[in-house]
Amino acid sequence: MRTKAHICVLLGLVCGLTMSSVSYAASDKSDHAAATVKQKVVIQISDNDPKKWTLALNNAENVQEDIGKGNVDIEIVAYGPGLPILKLDSPVATRVADAIAGGVKVVACENTMRKTNLTKDDMLPNLGYVKSGVPEIMHRQQEGYAYIRP
């Protein structure tokens, strides 16, 4: 009788260890899968301040360096007082162009452009345009984008 009890205990331990190993392997794979999911970031710029723009562009660059350009989608949304920095005569025009060339999407709010009498001809090349800046940020957050406002 004792032998049967020992065998049952031994079988229970073996089954428990086997299940733990399978569970650990599965969790390790899910952790790896989570680590390879593409990250998404939306950055709000609504200040007409070159220092804020420089900070936002630095944030975007640092995220790309840390996570890898191919592992993150970054969108900078400019509206309200932050929009004029995207004009052709911008003090950060070169940095914005470099960010766009590096894969950062920079979009301008058409509502702000209309209210300030700006046209696409007044703006830096290669920008994206959205009807309204705030709803764009809201939609991106609903899509799982992390929100940053420097």
Give me the DSSP letters along 96-144.
Answer: HHHHHHTT-EEEEEHHHHHHTT--GGGBPTT-EEES-HHHHHHHHHHTT
Instruction: Give residue 4's pLDDT.
Output: 62
Lay out the sheet containing 105-109: strands in order across: 128-130, 105-109, 72-78, 39-45, 146-148
Q: What is the pLDDT of residue 36?
A: 72
Residue 73 in tokens? 């989608």
Per-domain residue ranges for the chain? 1-37, 38-148
Q: What is the pLDDT at residue 93? A: 95
Instruction: Give the Cα separation of 94 and 135 in Å (integer).
Output: 28
- Which residue ranges in the chain fall short of pLDDT 70? 1-35
What distance in Å separates the CA atoms of residue 81 and residue 11, rounded to the nearest whole number? Answer: 71
**What is the pLDDT at residue 132?**
99
CATH number for the domain whose boundaries are 38-148: 3.40.1260.10
Residue-level pLDDT at 18: 47
| pTM for the whole structure | 0.76
pLDDT the model gives residue 66 = 97
